[in-house]
């Protein structure tokens, strides 16, 4: 196994298993990717203003994860399993013990998958299974909203 001047193996040549996954934290307010709004001249923009900063935060966190591998890193192009847990700010008076309202979990996953395309994996279609998808309130002791993302080979 080559290290190519990095500490540890080059991830793109290592088999990622459930025991040795890629795991990283994204800090920021998760932004759902949902409907697009027509603004004229055939242009469509995201309805949620949170999508762009969220995607940027996801890309930055993934880029920091793979940075030690430099030019040796190639986005993963194998069937993958993913786990995504989104931590959202607790409202002053939550109606439930878990966030069961906006934003939709599926729309959070969509924006996060798209942000990781070309950085962590070649295409979000390479994700063939989800081990866990969840929305939780930010637990005490954490400094704010975000997500914990884990990926390994299927």
The CATH number covering residue 126 comes to: 3.30.1330.70
Domain assignment of residue 2, yes or no: no
Supply the pLDDT for residue 134.
96
| Domain assignment present for 47 | yes
What are the backbone angles phi and psi of residue 27, rounded to the nearest 5°?
Answer: -105, 135
**Number of domains present in the structure of the chain:** 1
pTM of the model: 0.81
57 assigned to some structural domain: yes
Q: Which residues of the chain register pLDDT less than 50?
A: 1-12
Residues with Cβ within 8 Å of residue 116, at least 6 apart in sequence = 58, 59, 62, 124, 149
Note whether residue 95 is domain-resident: yes
Does residue 5 lie in a domain region?
A: no
| Residue-range definition of the domain harbouring residue 19 | 11-153
Q: Each residue of 98-124: pLDDT tens digit?
A: 888 889 999 999 999 999 999 999 999
* 104, part of any domain: yes
Residue identified by tokens 């192009």 is 77
């Amino acid at each position: 196994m080559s290290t190519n001047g990095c500490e540890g193996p080059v991830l793109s040549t290592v088999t990622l298993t459930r025991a040795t996954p890629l795991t990283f934290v994204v800090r920021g307010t998760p932004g759902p990717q949902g409907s697009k709004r027509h603004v004229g001249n055939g242009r469509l923009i995201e309805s949620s203003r949170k999508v762009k900063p969220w995607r940027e935060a996801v890309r930055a966190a993934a880029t920091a994860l793979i940075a030690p591998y430099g030019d040796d890193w190639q986005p993963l192009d194998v069937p993958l399993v993913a786990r995504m847990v989104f931590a959202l700010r607790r409202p002053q008076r939550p109606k439930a013990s878990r966030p069961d309202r906006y934003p939709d979990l599926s729309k959070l996953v969509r924006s996060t998958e798209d942000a990781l395309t070309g950085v962590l994996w070649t295409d979000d279609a390479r994700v063939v299974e989800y081990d866990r998808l969840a929305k939780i309130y930010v637990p005490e002791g954490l400094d704010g909203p975000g997500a914990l993302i884990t990926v390994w080979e299927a």
